Chains A and B, each alone.
Chain A
């Protein structure tokens, strides 16, 4: 064990990992863009509101990306992705904290008002609970905490990320004024990730699923998205669910979240198929897999 500090862009052997460096820098991009836009006054006449939306959006996106790491490792045969899972998760926490902080600024630092709003408005309560739970995960994300809690307890605690993601998604839905296309896409992809985990019962958590299973799952997620959208509009706004479903085969079908979810799922599944056919990861011995320092950075 070297005495050197492990910076986010170094792998466990203390060598520069290009993957980690690129991801680390990318995690700051939305924040940098928002700050720049704020300074250049291109966030519109209500810049704080826009910044609150952007930070919330990226919080939930990074949360979902962190949940996609394990499936993607398997689908794309890219085990090194695990190296960035923690930093993506912590970024989700960072953006969620910024999201709340900006809300406090928008309420002119009236903490009493912020507290009463969080208590009175259901979707704010849900969001706040999600952030509190996420902060526990952030606090226990360090190597030291993993050692202290022990592998089994740490894994149990961090399984609460599924609850947090669900709460965040509900918060996103309730926050929407009318058009729920965006949260619907996130929900559809979340459903795909969860269904993929369910497939672990048949093929094992780390086991490669056949292409037909993954593609089928993508189609199922897309179908769930489309029916979920129809059900949502029926329950929330009294729209005719058949008309919502019919829009999926109408002239502007490509706007419907169901098709967007399908496109993304099929793209990822196809990428995995192409990878395994034409550029498969070379088989390595168990020992070689552990010595990550000798692996070229991907």
Chain B
């Protein structure tokens, strides 16, 4: 009978380092070293090699972190990054909140941004060229979903008014319409062709040029994860979250009020303005309170999500409009 005695250095094959990690061992070690530092910054989203690779492939990664703009104060702590990046409404990838994995299929480079409509001259440029022209900064914003939950996120990006200035809209333009990507090959939700894809959103010119309107490219000091709307999304924190379109490819300046995606699906529940107001209920639920992600508390909702001092003036003469739906 053959009895095998292992010599000290003989290891089972199962103990061998997986080839994929061996081939990327230098990045793996870098990831390990940076781990404790990154965790401190709340960027646990980059704990694995694949994500670290993606960050290297993103040419804008070296621009981060952006300088902090402290104008807008938070009244509550930041939501942990792992919640913000794992609980997402992005119907292009499915109607559950669990679309983070599906969203990885979206190619974010090359990403072309088109600026057209009532402008001096239509512009088409890559997202990185756009970033090079914009005043990059980081802002801490509250985000209030129409579903009565909220979070606070450190967004990195640039003021929308800078993009409007770049666009040079004509005097007749009164709205800016944003169109998100259309790619059914990678976005499962868009394969349901009877939905009115692509996602469309809109703001008035005065809303788009108010300082609070923020175009976002990153979060937590890094390029935004795809499920959060990379590489370009809107953050209008005084409105319900569905106004903050993700994956924007086009800005069209127009004189007709855009009919946004949710408005075309259910106008009685989702309107153009969608300003946050605790006294105006959604037809199916009250908007008086919101569940804060992570903390677990249910807190009172604030008019304009607490940003009234910056934006209430925009609506002074619009009291006949359905401002809060």
- Contact surface of A with B, Cβ cutoff 8 Å: 44-46, 48-49, 106-108, 113, 117, 120-121, 123, 174-175, 177-179, 233, 236-240, 243-244, 247, 250-252, 255
Contact = CB atoms under 8 A, between A and B. Distances in A.
Contacts of A240: 194
B286 A178 contact: no
Contacts of B283: 121
Contacts of A233: 194
A100 to B, nearest CB: 15
Contacts of B91: 178
B294 interface: yes
Nearest to B281: A120
A240 B265 CA distance: 11
A44 B294 CA distance: 9
Interface residues of B, number: 26
Interface of B is mostly: loop
A243 B194 contact: yes
B294 A45 contact: yes
Interface in B49-95: 83, 86-87, 91, 95
Nearest to A50: B97
A108 B284 contact: no
Given A44-B97, A179-B95, A121 B293 contact: no
A251 B191 contact: yes
Contacts of B147: 177
5 contacts: A106-B291, A121-B283, A177-B147, A233-B194, A252-B191
- 9 smallest beta-carbon distances between A and B, as pairs: A243-B194, A179-B95, A45-B293, A45-B83, A237-B265, A244-B194, A239-B194, A45-B87, A252-B191
B285 A117 contact: yes
B265 A247 contact: no
Given A46-B149, A178-B95, A121 B193 contact: no
Interface in B299-321: none
B265 A121 contact: no
Contacts of A243: 193-194
Nearest to B294: A45
B95 A237 contact: no
A44 B86 CA distance: 9
Contacts of A252: 191-192
A233 B286 CA distance: 25
A49 B290 CA distance: 12
B195 interface: yes
A46 B194 contact: no
B264 interface: yes
Given A108-B298, A120-B281, A240-B194, A44 B87 contact: yes
Nearest to A242: B194
Interface string B274-285: 000000010111
A46 B281 contact: no
Nearest to A180: B95
A178 B293 CA distance: 23
Given A46-B149, A121-B285, A250 B193 contact: yes
B266 interface: yes
Nearest to B147: A177
A117 B266 contact: no
Nearest to A174: B284
Contacts of B284: 121, 123, 174-175
B213 to A, nearest CB: 26
Contacts of B265: 178, 237-238
A251 B147 CA distance: 32
A243 B195 CA distance: 9
Contacts of A117: 285-286
A234 to B, nearest CB: 10
B254 to A, nearest CB: 22
B95 A177 contact: yes
Given A121-B284, A239-B194, 8 more contacts: A45-B83, A49-B291, A117-B285, A178-B265, A233-B194, A239-B195, A247-B192, A252-B191
Contact of B291 (A46, A113, A123, A175): A46
Contacts of B87: 44-46
Contacts of A239: 194-196
B228 to A, nearest CB: 14
Nearest to B282: A121
Contact of A238 (B97, B264, B285, B298): B264
A46 B293 contact: yes
B142 to A, nearest CB: 15
Interface string B113-156: 00000000000000000000000000000000001010000000
Nearest to B192: A247
A237 B265 CA distance: 5
Contact of A236 (B191, B266, B285): B266
Contacts of B264: 238
Nearest to A234: B194
A175 B147 CA distance: 12
Nearest to B286: A117
A247 B194 contact: yes
Contact of A237 (B266, B281, B294): B266
Q: Taking each of B86, B265, B281, which has the highest tally of chain A beta carbons within 10 Å of its own beta carbon?
A: B265
Contacts of B194: 233, 239-240, 243-244, 247
B149 A247 contact: no
Contacts of B83: 45
A255 B195 CA distance: 15
A145 B55 CA distance: 68
A117 B283 CA distance: 11
